[in-house]
Every structure is written in C-alpha cells, then in structure tokens.
Amino acid sequence: MDASVQAPWEIRKKTVDASFDRDHGVDTGGTTQLTDLVIAGPYRRFGIAHTASDPDEFADAVDSLRIEHKDFTFIDLGSGKGRAAVLALSYPFRRIVGVEFALELHRVAAANLTSLAATGRDVRRIEFVHADATSFKFPEEPSVIYLYHPFEGDVMHRVVQRVLRAHAANPRPIFILYANPFLESYWIKAGFVSMKRGATFSVLVPP
C-alpha cells in the first residue's frame, strides 16, 4: 500500500486535532515521538509516542463515572500537551493534575494553559507536573486517575503498585479510567476490579 494513503482514523484525527486546537487557541494535536526529547527518569524506552485524547472518547469515558466530580481530583498520567486537562475543565473536578515526563511536552502544556487563560477561561484548577509517573506522589484525596495508554511494561507495573500502596496507606475512592486499555491485565493481576468497559476504555477500582 502506498504510504501516502492515509487510513480513515488518521484523517479523522487530523480533522479533530485541527478543530479542537483552533476552537480553544491551543496546540495539543499531532503525534510526537519521544526519541529526541528530554525525559525525566530512566524509563524512556517504555514511553509511547504522544497523541492527544479524542474529545468524544474522553467524554464517553468520564461520563461513565457515576461520581460527584467536585469531590475528586483528576490526574492524567502522561498528560502530554495537556488536552485531557483542558477537556477535564468541562467537569467540576476539584483539581486537575497533569503528569508528563517529557520536558518539551510539559512546556507546551504550560503554554497552552497561558493561552487558555488569555481567552478568559478559569484555569486555576489545573496544575502540570514534569515528572516520571513512577515517582509521582498521588494526593491523599478521592481521585480519578486517567491514562491514555501512555506507557508500557515495567512502568505500567510500577504505577499499578504505587496506586495500590497509596490506596492501602490511605483508603479513599480511586477510579482508574484507562483509555485504550491494552495493558488492563496488569491492573487485574494486581487485584483491581473492572467496573465497566466501554468501546475504548475500562474503569477499574482498587481491591
């Protein structure tokens, strides 16, 4: 097949990316390889090229949660350029935290936050953290932990274990909202319970 011929999903993604970024005055679209980026921590090889969450898929996933959003902190592991955080602003989460290990992507997310603020959006609930997900300290409050399949292998295993330990040390409601859940088995094997599955996501809770 001619490499110049684009699959329908690629065409749709470009259209969605362009529309979202134009409407919000931000830069969240495209695909960014990690090869030449400055990475926090030793796990570059387990990272996956950055692509932003699809707005419709994000809404389907978040809307599936039957929660009082105001009681929860939304945490995006592998937040990239910050699109999920922007989308999360549409919900009354108490706080929104994006964690990204690629410095360049983190800086784009911070710039997007400034751009949003300039349009009059209240972005005070959003915080972007440049850190490896395996070293991130989860807040001791009810949380929705969102993953758009940002990493693989050992990193996913370590994150699963950190969430388990955080919950055991301070039991509170935690929902894992895993979009494109290719490694859902890591969570299930650790004892997490699958509460719901959608077309493109899975919702899990600690044992």
* 53 falls within a domain: yes
* 2 falls within a domain: no
Domain extent for 165: 8-205
Check which CATH number belongs to the domain holding 157 and give it: 3.40.50.150
* 42 falls within a domain: yes
* 56 falls within a domain: yes
pLDDT in tens, the chain (207 residues): 455 667 888 899 999 999 999 999 999 999 999 999 999 989 899 999 999 999 999 999 999 999 999 999 999 999 999 999 999 999 999 999 999 999 999 999 999 999 999 999 999 999 999 999 999 999 999 999 999 999 999 999 999 999 999 999 999 999 999 999 999 999 999 999 999 999 999 999 999
Give the dihedral sign, CA 117/127/82/43: positive
Question: What's the burial of 79, exposed, middle or buried (CB within 10 Å: 0-12/13-18/19+)?
Answer: buried
Predicted TM-score (pTM) of this structure: 0.94
* 3 falls within a domain: no
User: Total structural domains in the chain?
Assistant: 1
